[in-house]
């Protein structure tokens, strides 16, 4: 279903290759999928920024393209997504996904940019929770976040209503943070780690840390020193799991290279020695 005045879709089925930069829709839908993965099962994604990618990062490896609006404050990209529009979009996505899989395990806020920057996030999370209840679904409702808004009390309060949060932390070294994630100039990695630590104290659901290991020219974030520094920070956060990835879809910047399984295994071994539970996702 197309909302022509806003030029976005209510639901878009993802192309088989999963290559977002090659998709004709290019992130211009509110709901998308379905996905079938080890981590979340059969899932529907929610994209709160179908008009322009809004984020506090402009990561070199991002497979969703460059950030159009770099911000640390709430932004409406012009789509005007509200509770009613999201509910209609979820209904369409649910009906389409059920035709193929006959089950749904998760509904996750992800998509283009940083979902916690949407000004109506609390209301939209409430819409998803109400939808799940109305349809009698046994699903996990989650959020994929880059961890930059967890200083906000209203964001923490909203995320506490979720079952699952996967929070990005690619490095704890400020210089590499700036080169890899290209954050808004006001952000520091020490503050992000501290906010994650405080969030863990408030959040009773499953907290996963997502780390993407890459090589780009002379930039790498997978040395022994990188792993040790990350492990020391993570022990203070106490996540339920750490998920290690490397780039597996076309990144927005050329020459960003994936790392080998052996590199990921060595990195994982360091984290595990600190008592952390680690899963490796190579593709």
Could you give the CA distance from residue 227 to residue 249 in angstroms, rounded to a whole number?
Answer: 24
Positions of E strands within 56-101: 69-70
Q: What is the pLDDT confidence band of residue 8, given thresholds at 50, 70 and 90?
A: confident
Token couple for 140: 């996990």
- pLDDT digit string (tens) for 91-139? 999 999 999 888 999 999 998 999 999 999 999 999 999 999 999 999 9
**Is residue 2's pLDDT more than 50?**
no
**Cα 190 to Cα 24, 31, 60, 175, 229, distances in angstroms:** 39, 33, 21, 12, 12
Predicted pLDDT at 28: 87
**Is residue 1's pLDDT more than 90?**
no
125-139: buried (b, 16+ CB within 10 Å) or exposed (e) per residue? bebbeebbeeeeeeb
Token couple for 3: 């909302």
Predicted pLDDT at 5: 44
Nearest 5°: CA angle at 149, between 22 and 12? 30
Pairing of the two strands 140-145 and 106-110: parallel
What is 190-207 written as a DSSP string? HHHHHHHHHHHHH--SEE
Average pLDDT over residues 271-277: 98
Determine contact, residues 138/70, Cβ cutoff 8 Å: no
Residue in the block written with tokens 């979902």: 115
Kindly state the DSSP code that residue 233 receives in the 8-state scheme: H
- pLDDT digit string (tens) for 53-70? 999 999 999 999 999 999
Could you give the CA distance from residue 49 to residue 115 in angstroms, rounded to a whole number?
Answer: 8
Predicted pLDDT at 147: 97
Phi, psi of 54 (to 5 degrees): -110, 125
Q: What is the pLDDT confidence band of residue 6, given thresholds at 50, 70 and 90?
A: low
Closest CA to 122 of 152, 88, 90, 78: 152
- The domains of the chain, with CATH numbers, are 2-281 (3.20.20.70)
Query: Cα 163 to chain center, whole Å?
Result: 14
Pairing of the two strands 69-70 and 106-110: unpaired
- pLDDT digit string (tens) for 145-183? 999 999 999 999 999 999 999 999 999 999 999 999 999
Nearest 5°: CA angle at 166, between 162 and 169? 145
Token couple for 46: 């929610």
- Beta-carbon contacts of residue 175 (< 8 Å; ≥ 6 apart): none
- pLDDT digit string (tens) for 219-254? 999 999 999 999 999 999 999 999 999 998 889 999
- pLDDT digit string (tens) for 178-216? 999 999 999 999 999 999 999 999 999 999 999 999 999
Predicted pLDDT at 191: 98
Could you give the CA distance from residue 266 to residue 143 in angstroms, rounded to a whole number?
Answer: 28
Predicted pLDDT at 218: 94
- pLDDT digit string (tens) for 24-62? 777 889 999 888 887 899 999 999 999 999 999 999 999
pLDDT, mean over the chain: 93
Residue in the block written with tokens 């930059």: 148
Average pLDDT over residues 60-86: 94
């Amino acid at each position: 279903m197309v909302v022509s005045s806003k030029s976005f879709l209510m639901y878009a089925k993802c192309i088989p290759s999963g290559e977002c930069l090659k998709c004709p829709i290019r992130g211009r839908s509110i709901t998308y999928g379905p996905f079938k993965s080890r981590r979340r099962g059969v899932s529907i994604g929610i994209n709160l920024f179908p008009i322009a990618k809004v984020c506090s990062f402009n990561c070199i490896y991002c497979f969703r393209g460059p950030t159009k609006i770099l911000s640390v404050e709430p932004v409406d990209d012009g789509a005007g997504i509200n509770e009613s529009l999201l509910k209609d979009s979820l209904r369409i996505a649910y009906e389409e996904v059920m035709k193929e899989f006959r089950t749904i395990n998760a509904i996750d806020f992800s998509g283009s940019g940083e979902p916690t920057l949407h000004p109506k996030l609390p209301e939209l999370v409430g819409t998803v929770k109400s939808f799940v209840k109305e349809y009698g679904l046994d699903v996990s409702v989650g959020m994929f976040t880059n961890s930059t808004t967890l200083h906000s009390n209203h964001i923490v309060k909203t995320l506490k209503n979720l079952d699952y949060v996967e929070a990005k932390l690619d490095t704890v070294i400020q210089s590499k943070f700036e080169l890899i994630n290209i954050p808004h100039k006001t952000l520091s990695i020490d503050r992000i780690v501290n906010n994650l630590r405080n969030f863990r104290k408030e959040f009773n659901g499953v907290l996963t840390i997502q780390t993407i290991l890459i090589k780009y020219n002379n930039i790498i974030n997978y040395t022994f020193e990188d792993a040790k520094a990350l492990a020391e920070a993570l022990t203070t956060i106490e996540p339920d799991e750490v998920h290690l990835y490397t780039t597996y879809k076309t990144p927005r910047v050329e020459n960003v290279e994936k790392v080998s399984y052996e590199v990921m295994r060595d990195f994982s071994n360091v984290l595990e020695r600190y008592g952390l539970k680690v899963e490796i996702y190579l593709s």
